[in-house]
Chain A
Amino acid sequence: MPPRNRLPFESDIYELEDLLERLEVGANGQLGSSEEIRRIRRELVGLKRKIYSNLTPWQTVLVSRHGERPQTMDYVQLIFEDFVELHGDRAIGDDRALRCGFARLGDHRVMVIGHQKGHTLQERTKCFYGCAHPEGYRKALKNMRLAAKFRLPIICLIDTPGAFPGIGAEERGQAQLIATNLLEMSRLETPIVCVVIGEGGSGGALGIGIGDRVSMLEHGYYSVISPEGCAGILWKVATETTKPLAAEALRMTAKDLKRLGVIDDIIPEPLGAAHRDHREMANTLKAYLLRYIRETRPLSVEELLESRYQKFRKMGFYLSGIENA
């Protein structure tokens, strides 16, 4: 594998992997050193477990942004069949940062909506690094409404640093389109499951993030503002010191969000995170989505909408009543 996207805190893992690779090549069919190979493999497992069960929030952010981490279109290939992409927003254009389409999940017909960041530089440029414009949110809503009309469950895969901050995006109503999506998604008459598969960047994530179930992959993050943005405002400058402080303060990891009642489930990632094993990650996610669809099937539209309403109604913490002395 080419040595790109090496995260600094993973250097010990890479060192062992390199050693293992050399031994495996040297062994060349001979059984002599196989015992050492086994020992190093065991050690590697232990090391990955140790590093990945103790990631700091900032390290989690780095993992969630890993260039080889599976993205929406990877999952479309690995989890779904017969994907039929729907491109048009009926007003401005085709936003490549937000993909929509019919797909089959096992025996179920579903609508997939997801951010796409791109893996290659060329793809990333086309996708604006996963930052959608107003036309992306308009396209998503148009297709979600279509799904609701035929009672297809909607699967939203969230993976964005944020909605695109640009002149055209403002001229074409970035805030308006997100606002409309929030209101309409809260009352769409079909089941919606949202999974943060990587980055959950603020309003750009929430714009496809209203669902009956909202969950996160183990090493994703979901936040009101990027740690860089937060550090820049509250610490006056975003540096290698302040960004981790902001990431910590914002409570943006899956564990924190579960504790705060914002997400329903944490979907476990393969050992050493999703970028190490796309297939295993996809299988876990697929099983999760199938279970969700089975569980929501018996619900009536009224029950579904009422529980969706109550889910978001409960969010937040405040004090009330007479103040204690």
Chain B
Amino acid sequence: MTPNESKAEMGISDRPKRGVPEGLWIRCPQCKATIFRKEAEARLNVCPECTYHFYLPARDRIAQLLDADSFEEWFTDLRPCDPLEFKDRLPYAERLQAEQAKTGMLDAAVVGRGFIRGRPVVFGVTDFAFMAGSMGSVVGEKLTRAAEEATRLQLPLLFVSGSGGGARMQEGILSLMQMAKISAALGRYDRAGGLYICVLTNPTMGGVAASFALQGDITLAEPGALIGFAGKRTIWNTVRLELPEGFQTSEFLLEHGFIDRIVPRKDLRTEVAKIIDYCEH
């Protein structure tokens, strides 16, 4: 799917600085209800009518999931460059500047260390607002370093994924290789006995789904997230068949045995803490 279409599907505008769309009132893409934005924000960006989980910026995710002021961000100096000198209708270099200005982030990932109900964890999150949360070299490098630090510090590792297309096209083959890089780091972390929990949020597609998002000891998902390998349009173009109801949703993956639990946003902290306690050495 293209970033713009998927943003529209998710009910967020092009400037989602504070999570739910700008304006006093917002329309829920699921139940179509018009809701007071403040009310959704007060409920962790969840629709009060139908519990649709709106997009959540990385900063808000950290604030919700980790103990107050416990997060220490790492590797903040890493920033993207343009190794392919990629240019479609817009040069990648310009696209990056625009995305940075729009989101206030240097790239799509934030990693570091924090606490969940008093339990220390290494934490990483990808933010959909920055180029649809796609994985280029910086995202791959940050997540890899986080996994390596978690190995060194012998801490549980928690990633929250959110990515429209998966790999970042504008970094070409290098973005595909980030899948290999982070997988190798998670392989080592696993062998060292670490606990890796991944929380899949809307959407988690393509190369992100086919790498770190589905390599956890425990795979959790927020309700109603779009999760899969191929985009719906690609599938339609290939097989020309009506896609089943609820195709590629969290519930679909749960039914087919690929995730462990669907966890509403409000329960994530408690559930993650509980799982960490079960997996102490």
A312 at interface by CB-CB < 8 Å:
yes
A and B contact pairs by CB, cutoff 8 A, 20 listed: A163-B230, A165-B239, A167-B235, A170-B229, A173-B256, A175-B209, A175-B229, A178-B210, A179-B215, A202-B167, A203-B207, A233-B169, A245-B88, A250-B84, A250-B173, A316-B174, A316-B177, A316-B181, A318-B141, A321-B77
The answer for the CA separation of A268 and B229 in the assembled complex, in Å, is 34
Given contacts A175-B228, A182-B183, contact A319 B87 (CB under 8 A): no
Min Cβ gap B268→A in Å is 22
Contact of B83 among A186, A230, A252, A260 (CB under 8 A): A260
In the complex, which residues of chain A have a beta carbon less than 8 angstroms from the beta carbon of B77? 320-323
Interface: A33 (CB within 8 A): no
For the complex of A and B, 8 pairs with smallest distance between CB atoms: A316-B137, A165-B230, A182-B183, A186-B184, A234-B88, A175-B209, A317-B83, A175-B229
A187-B191, A223-B172 known; A170-B230 Cβ under 8 A: yes
User: Does residue A183 face the partner (Cβ distance < 8 Å to B)?
Assistant: yes
- The residues in B between 20 and 35 inclusive whose CB is less than 8 angstroms from any CB of A are none
**Is there a chain B Cβ closer than 8 Å to A115's Cβ?**
no
Among B78, B141, B181, which residue has the most Cβ atoms of chain A within 10 A? B181
- Chain A CB within 8 A of B201 CB: no
Contact A308–B229 (Cβ < 8 Å): no
* Chain A: interface residue total (CB-CB under 8 A): 59
Q: How far is the CB of B135 from chain A (nearest CB, A)?
A: 10
Known: A166-B235, A167-B243. A224 touches B88 (CB 8 A): no
- On whether the beta carbons of A235 and B88 are closer than 8 Å, the reply is yes
B175 within 8 A of A: yes
Q: B89 and A318: CB pair below 8 A?
A: no
A260 to B171, CA, bound (A): 11
Q: Is the CB of B187 within 8 A of A315?
A: no
With a cutoff of 8 Å between Cβ atoms, the chain B residues found around residue A317 in the complex are: 81, 83, 137, 171, 174
Q: Do A182 and B228 touch across chains, with their CB atoms under 8 A apart?
A: no
Q: Does A174 contact B (CB under 8 A)?
A: yes
Q: Could you say which of A172, A203, A223, A262 contacts B179, with CB atoms under 8 Å apart?
A: A203
A259 CB, nearest partner CB in chain B, Å: 10
Of the candidates A229, A233, A251, A318, the one whose C-beta lies within 8 Å of that of B84 is A251
Kindly provide the distance from the CB of A320 to the nearest chain B CB, expressed in whole angstroms: 5
Cβ-based interface call for A169 (8 A): yes
A262 touching B187 by the CB < 8 A rule? no
Give Cα A169 to B252, complex, Å.
13
Please give the distance in Å from B233's CB to the nearest CB on chain A: 8
Q: In the complex, which of the residues B79, B89, B169 contacts A230, with contact meaning CB atoms closer than 8 Å? A: B169
On chain B, the residues within 8 Å of A15 by CB distance are none
Is A79 an interface residue, CB under 8 A from the partner?
A: no
Residues on B lying within 8 angstroms of A by beta carbon are 2, 75, 77-81, 83-84, 86-89, 136-138, 140-141, 144, 165-169, 171-181, 183-188, 190-191, 206-207, 209-215, 227-231, 234-235, 238-239, 241, 243-244, 247-248, 252, 256-258
Instruction: State whether the Cβ of A85 lies closer than 8 Å to any Cβ in chain B.
Output: no
- In the bound complex, do residue A223 and residue B173 qualify as a contact, i.e. CB atoms below 8 Å apart? yes
When the two chains form their complex, are residues B183 and A179 in contact, meaning their CB atoms are under 8 A apart? Answer: yes
Cα of A202 to Cα of B247 in the assembled complex, Å: 23
Residue A240 at the chain B interface, CB threshold 8 Å: no
Which of A172, A210, A323 has the most CB atoms of chain B within a 10 A radius of its CB? A210
- Residues 288-325 of A at the B interface (beta carbon under 8 Å): 308-309, 312-313, 315-323
B141 touches A179 (CB 8 A): no
Complexed CA–CA distance, A93 and B236 (Å):
24
Kindly list 18 other residue pairs between chains A and B, CB separation below 8 angstroms, not including A169-B229, A182-B211, A249-B86. Answer: A163-B229, A166-B230, A166-B238, A175-B213, A182-B180, A187-B191, A210-B180, A235-B88, A250-B173, A257-B173, A262-B173, A315-B137, A317-B137, A317-B174, A318-B79, A318-B81, A319-B78, A323-B79
**Residues of chain A within 8 A of B183, CB atoms compared:** 179, 182-183, 186, 210
Q: Does A180 have its Cβ within 8 Å of any Cβ on chain B?
A: yes
Q: How far is the CA of A108 from the CA of B179 in the complex (A)?
A: 31
The answer to whether A184 has its CB under 8 Å from any CB of chain B is yes
Known: A175-B209, A260-B173. A320 touches B78 (CB 8 A): yes
Cβ-defined contact, A315 with B188, below 8 A: no
Q: Whole-angstrom distance between the alpha carbons of A176 and B210 in the complex?
A: 6
**CB-CB < 8 A to B234: which residues of A?**
165, 229
A44 to B154, CA, bound (A): 64
Partner of B238, one of A165, A180, A203, A245: A165
